[in-house]
Amino acid sequence: MSLDDLWYSEYHTPNVRFSIRVNRQLLNEKSDYQEISVFDSPEFGRFLTLDGVLMLTERDEFIYHEMIVHTPMAVNPEIRNVLVIGAGDGGVARELSKYKSIEQVDIVEIDRRVVEVCKEFLPHTACGFDDPRIHLHFEDGLKFIRRVENRYDLIIVDSTDPSGPGEVLFTREFYGSCRRALTQNGIMVNQHESPFYPDDARAMREAHRRIVGVFPVARVYQAHIPTYPSGHWLFGFASNGLHPLRNLQGEAWQALGIRTRYYNINLHKGSFYLPTYVEEGLKTYEPEHTDASSL
């Protein structure tokens, strides 16, 4: 290890800084869309940042990727066609490829360089791209989905924060297009920001408000991700009708024998039970007759 005292820091708020000791920076470049960096660290292994914001580390990425993929898959193990927006690191693809029943996965990533960089520096996640059922499209997600109708059983929105190129993936027009692109039993899951720090919480509430305005079923679930702001992270589950708990097919999913390190059926159930302050923050935007306790 180097004698230099090198640290990567991310400001989780203007007054809170999260730092990881770095062995060295493996890459730094500006793509057409964002600044991409890869670091190597003693505690978290290699990690990727976009515009200075940490996206994933080798050490804890499994939590995020398992939660965003297996949660909807356990509600509808019949899923055949999947659309993934963002996810240039390949982690979502890796988890999806564990399902033999899936026929096709379209991944729409706006920045080709993210995929190339991950293939070079983060093979443990980028290996997901090797599956022949995976089709990569380097396009604007909003544009891709605009003309799609009734095609996907699952849409996974693996976006960056709404402040960067991921902004469009938090808009009402995007969620509206997603709903149209889904089949009758379709499910949309999305990266839903964090409830803790005020700016993140605002993004969370805004996203929820818009999703509730578009989908008849809109629930939020949580996970603990050490390297994300506050460590407490949320995902959205929205559908035309399938409910994440009432329609959970735990036994069918277990029968698939899929190996996971974070996700399991008990955790699935528990993850939809949210802390009171989070529920309250979300409930402002929900219609009268639903509330989290009616799970």
Cα separation, 177 vs 71, whole angstroms: 22
49 binds another protein (CB under 8 A): no
> Tokens at residue 195, please?
């409830």
**Cβ neighbourhood burial of 244 (10 Å; 0-12, 13-18, 19+):** buried
**Cβ neighbourhood burial of 32 (10 Å; 0-12, 13-18, 19+):** exposed
Catalytic residues: 158
> Tokens at residue 103, please?
């026929």
142 binds another protein (CB under 8 A): yes
165 binds another protein (CB under 8 A): yes
- Report in angstroms how near the CB of residue 129 gets to another protein at its nearest: 24
Cα separation, 267 vs 286, whole angstroms: 24
- Report in angstroms how near the CB of residue 145 gets to another protein at its nearest: 8
- For residues 190-229, which are near another protein according to CB under 8 A? 213
Angle at 128 between CA 124 and CA 133, to 5 degrees: 165
In terms of DSSP bridges, do strands 104-108 and 134-137 run parallel, antiparallel, or are they unpaired? parallel
Q: Applying CB under 8 A, which of residues 40, 51, 167, 286 lies at the interface with another protein?
A: 167
Q: How many residues does the chain have?
A: 295
**3-state class of 209 per DSSP?**
helix
- Report in angstroms how near the CB of residue 193 gets to another protein at its nearest: 17
Per DSSP, what are the bridge partners of residue 13?
16
Nearer to another protein, 26 or 168 (CB): 168
Stretch that binds another protein, among 101-109, 137-145, 230-238, 252-260 (CB under 8 A): 137-145
Q: Applying CB under 8 A, which of residues 173, 184, 226, 287 lies at the interface with another protein?
A: 173
Stretch that binds another protein, among 7-15, 101-109, 141-149, 187-195 (CB under 8 A): 141-149
Nearer to another protein, 179 or 224 (CB): 179
Nearer to another protein, 10 or 167 (CB): 167
172 binds another protein (CB under 8 A): yes
- Report in angstroms how near the CB of residue 176 gets to another protein at its nearest: 4
In this structure, what is the dihedral angle of CA atoms 9, 12, 15, 19, given to the nearest 10 degrees?
A: -20
Give the binding site for another protein (CB under 8 A).
140, 142-143, 146-147, 165, 167-168, 171-174, 176-177, 180, 213
